[in-house]
Structure 1
Amino acid sequence: MKITAIEAIPFAIPYRKPLRFASGEVSVATHVLVRVHTDDGIVGVAEAPPRPFTYGETQQGIVAVIETVFAPQLIGLTLLDREQMVASLARTIGNPTAKAAVDMAIWDALGKTLKLSVNEMLGGYTDRMRVSHMLGFDEPAKMVAEAERMRDTYGIATFKVKVGRRPVGLDTAVVRALRERFDDQIELYVDGNRGWTAAESLRAMKEMADLDLLFAEELCPADDVLGRRWLVEQLDIPFIADESVPTAADVTREILGRSATAISIKTARTGFTWSRRVHHLAEGLGLEVVMGNQIDGQVGTACALAFGSSFQLTSRYAGELSNFLDMSDDLLTEPLQIRDGHLHTSSEPGIGIEIDPEKLDRYRVDR
C-alpha cells in the first residue's frame, strides 16, 4: 500500500453552454486528473477543478504544486498514513482543490486495495442522493425552460438559482417565474456568489418572501463583517456559507460570528478527510448542510456523491450533482446516470469509477 507515484494530468472539455454567475463564467472544463499509484499496482483517481475567481488556483498551478511540492512529500508513505499526509499538505498555504484531489485519489486507492467502496468506509448511510441542478444567469424564460428540461428528462425537482446581478427586477423576476411555473412541485434556493451588498440582499429577499425558498447562499461578501451579520439576523431562512468556509476553522468563525446558519460542503475543495471534519463540526453545531458543486465533471461528481451519501446530515437535502450534464463529454467508461431525480452510488471498490484511456488521451492538454 505504499505510494510510488502521483500524476497530475491537465485536460480540457468544452461545455455545451457557458455557466454564468456573479463571480465568473465557465465555458471549458480545464480540470486536472490526479492519479495516485501504489506498489501493489493500484491506481486511485480524483479530479481537481481550478476556480481562479474563487480560490486563486489555475490548471497550471495545480499541476505544478502537485508535481513539485505534494508528490515528493507523499511518495513513500502508505495509504494508511493519512494524518501524516494531512500534516504534510497543511504546510502549503492555499491550493484547496489540489489538496482535495490528492486526498480523494488516496481514498480511492485505499478502497480499491481493501475492496471497499469509499461510501462504506466513510459511513455508508444510503446508496443514493436526490439531485439539485444549478441554473446559471440567463433570461427568465430560458431559465424556466432549462428547469423544465431537467425535470422532464431527469426528474430533478430542486434548483439552485444563480443571482447577484440586479437584485430587484432581473434576479427576483427569474425566481418568481420559476415558482409561478412550477408552484409547489419544485424546491428553490438562491446563490448570490457574493454579488450583492448586504442592503441589496435584504431588499431582494423581502421581494421573494412569498416564494418559499429553502436557503439563501453567499448573497454578499463575507468580509463585510457587520453588514453580513446584520443581514443574517433579518432572514427567516437558513443562510449558507460556501466560498467563505473552505476549512473547519472558517466554519467556526462564520457561525460564531453569526454570519451564517448553514454550510455547503464541497469535496472538490476539502476532499474526503477535511470534508469529514467539517461534517462532524456541523453536526455538533446543529447546522444544516448542503452538498455543493464546484462545476465538477463526472469524476468530481462521483466523489461528491460518495461523500454525501455516507452521512444522514449530508444526504438530507438534494445535492448539487448535475452540472456535468452541461459538458460535451467526460472521462468515464460508464457515465453517471440521473434517474427519477437521484444518483445512485456504485458498489465497486473506491469511488467506483473507471477512466476511459482513449478519452483521457483525446482531452489531455500536456501532449
Structure 2
Amino acid sequence: MKITRIEAIPFAIPYRKPLKFASGEVHAAEHVLVRVHTDDGVVGVAEAPPRPFTYGETQTGIITVIDRIFAPQLTGLSLLERETMHARMHRTVGNPAAKAAVDMAVWDALGRTLDTGVTELLGGYTDRMRVSHMLGFDEPAAMVAEAERMRDRYGITTFKVKVGRRPVSLDTAVVRALREELGDDVELYVDGNRGWTPAESAAAMRQMADLGLLFAEELCPADDVLGRRWLVSQLDVPFIADESAVTAADVTREILGGSATAINIKVARSGFTLAQRAHHLAEGLGLEAVMGNQVDGQLGSMCTVVFGSAFALTSRRAGELSNFLDMTDDLLTEPLQITGGELTIRPGAGIGVEIDPDKLAHYRQDV
C-alpha cells in the first residue's frame, strides 16, 4: 500500500456557455487529473479545479506544486499515513485544490486496495444526495428558463442563485422572478461571492425578505470584519461562510467571531481528510452545512457525493452537484446521471468511477 508515483495531468473541456459570477468567469474546465499509484498496482484518481479568482491557483501552478514538491514528499509513504502526508504538504502555504486532489486520490486508492467504497470508509450514512443547481448571472427570464429546465428534466428543486452585481436590484429582481415563476415548491438561496458591501447586502436581503430564502452565502468580504458581523447580526437566515472557511481553523474564527452561522464544505479545496474535520466541528457546534462545488467535472462531483452522503449532517441539504452539466464532455467511462433530483454513489471500491483513456488522451494538454 505504498505510494510509488503521483501524476498531475492537465486537461481542458469547454463549457457550453461562460460561467459568470461576482469574482470572475470561466470558459472551459482547465482542470488537473491527479493519479496516485501504489506498489500493489492500484491507481487512485481525483480532480483539481483551479480557481485563480478565489484561491490564486492555476492549472500550471497545481501541476508544478504536485510534481516538484508534493510527489517527492509523499512517495514511499503508506496510504494509511495520511497525517504524515498532510503535515508534509502543510509546509507549503496555500495550494488547497492541489492538496485536496492528492488527498482524495489517496482515499480512492485506499478504497480500491481494501475493496471498499470511500463513503463506507468515511461513515456510510446513505448512498445519495439531493442536487442543488447553481444559476449564474443572466437576465431574469433566462435564469427562470434554466431553472425550469433543470426542474423538469432532472427533478432538481433547489437552486443557488449567484448574486453580487450592482445595483443590487439586478439580482433581487432575478430572485423574485424565480420565486414567482417556480412557486413555493422550490428552495432558493443566494451566493454573493463577496461582491457586495455589507450595506448593499443588507439592503438586498431586505428586498428579498418575503421570498423564503434558505441561506445567504458570502455576500460581502470576510476581511470587512466589523461590517460583516453587523450584517450577520441582522439576518434571519443562516449566513454561510464559503471562501472564508476553507479550514477547520477558519470555521472556528468565522463562527466564534460572529461573521457566519453556517458553512460550505467543498472537498475540491479540502480533500476528504480536512473536510472531515470541518464536518465534525460543524456537527459539534450545531451549524448548518452544505456541500459546495468548485465548478467541478463529473469526477469532482462524485467526490462531493461520496463525502456528503457519508454523514447525516452533510446529506440533509441538497448539495451543489450539477455544474458538470455545463461541460460539453467529461472523462468518465460511465457518465453521471441525475435522476429524480438526486445523485447516488457508485457501487464498487474507492470513489467508484473510472477514467476513459480515450477521452483523457483527447482532452489532455501535456502531449
TM-score above 0.5, yes or no? yes
| Category of TM-score, reference length = shorter chain | over 0.9
Partner residue in 2 for 1:34:
34
Is this contact kept in 2: 1:44–1:107, CA < 8 A?
A: yes
1:167: how far off? 4.7
Q: In structure 2, what is the equivalent of residue 240 of structure 1?
A: 240
The answer on 1:49 being equivalent to 2:49 is yes
- 1:145 maps to 2:109: no
Q: Does 1:307 align with 2:307?
A: yes
1:111 corresponds to = 111
Instruction: Work out the CA distance in 1 between the residues paired with 2:320 and 2:221.
Output: 22
Tell whether the 8 Å contact from 1:167 to 1:204 is kept in structure 2 after alignment: no
Mapping of 1:215-364 within 5 angstroms?
A: 215-364=215-364
The secondary structure found in structure 1 opposite 2:32 is strand
SS in 2 for 1:133: strand
CA–CA distance in structure 2, aligned partners of residues 138 and 232 of structure 1: 27
**Percent identical:** 77
Separation in structure 2 between the aligned mates of residue 356 and residue 167 of structure 1, nearest angstrom? 45
User: Secondary structure of 1:205's partner?
Assistant: helix
Matched, 1:122 2:122: yes
SS in 2 for 1:314: helix
For structure 2, which runs of at least 5 residues remain unmatched after alignment? none
Aligned-residue offset at 1:270:
0.3
**SS in structure 1 at match of 2:314:** coil
Give the letter aligned to residue 168 of structure 1.
Answer: V
Summarize the Cα distance change of 1:168–1:56 in structure 2 as closer, same or farther, 3 Å threshold: closer
Query: Which residue is 1:65 aligned to?
Result: 65
Q: After TM superposition, where is structure 1 displaced by more than 6 Å over at least 4 residues in a row?
A: none
- Partner amino acid for 1:219? L
Partner in structure 2 of residue 169 of structure 1: 169
After superposition, what is the alpha-carbon deviation per residue over 1:73-129, rounded to whole angstroms, capped at 9, x for unaligned? 000001011111111111111000000000000000000000000000000000110
> SS of the counterpart of 1:131?
strand
Contact 1:100 1:270 in 2 (8 A): yes
Deviation track 1:214-258 (CA, whole Å, cap 9, x = no partner) reads: 000000000000000000000000000000011100000000100
> With structure 1 as the length reference, what TM-score do the two structures score?
1.00
From the superposition, tell whether residues 168 and 61 of structure 1 become closer, same or farther in structure 2 (CA, over 3 Å).
closer
In structure 2, the partner of 1:156 is: 156
1:305 and 1:67 mapped to 2: Cα distance? 28
SS state at 2:184 partner? helix
> What amino acid is aligned across from residue 33 of structure 2 in structure 1?
L
**Partner Cα distance (2:185, 2:83) in 1:** 45
Residue 15 (structure 2) aligns with: 15
Deviation at 1:346, TM superposition (A): 1.1
Q: Indicate conservation of the 8 Å contact 1:167/1:196, yes or no.
A: no
Aligned residue number for residue 91 of structure 1: 91
1:166 positional shift: 2.3
Q: Residue 289 of structure 2 aligns to a residue in which SS?
A: strand
CA distance, structure 1, for counterparts of residue 23 and residue 328 of structure 2:
23
3-state SS of paired residue (2:333):
coil
- In the alignment, what sits opposite 1:208? 208
- Gaps of at least 5 residues in structure 1 are none
Contact preservation (8 Å) 1:154, 1:341: yes
- Mapped partners of 2:17, 2:218: distance in 1: 24
Backbone CA RMSD of aligned residues: 0.5
SS where residue 209 of structure 2 aligns?
coil
Report the Cα distance in structure 1 between the residues aligned to 2:159 and 2:128, rounded to whole angstroms: 18
CA distance in 2, matches of 1:228, 1:278: 21
User: Separation in 2 of the partners of 1:171 and 1:151?
Assistant: 21
SS of 1:313's equivalent? helix
Partner-residue secondary structure (3-state), 2:315: coil
Question: Aligned letter for 2:135?
Answer: L
AA paired with 2:198?
A
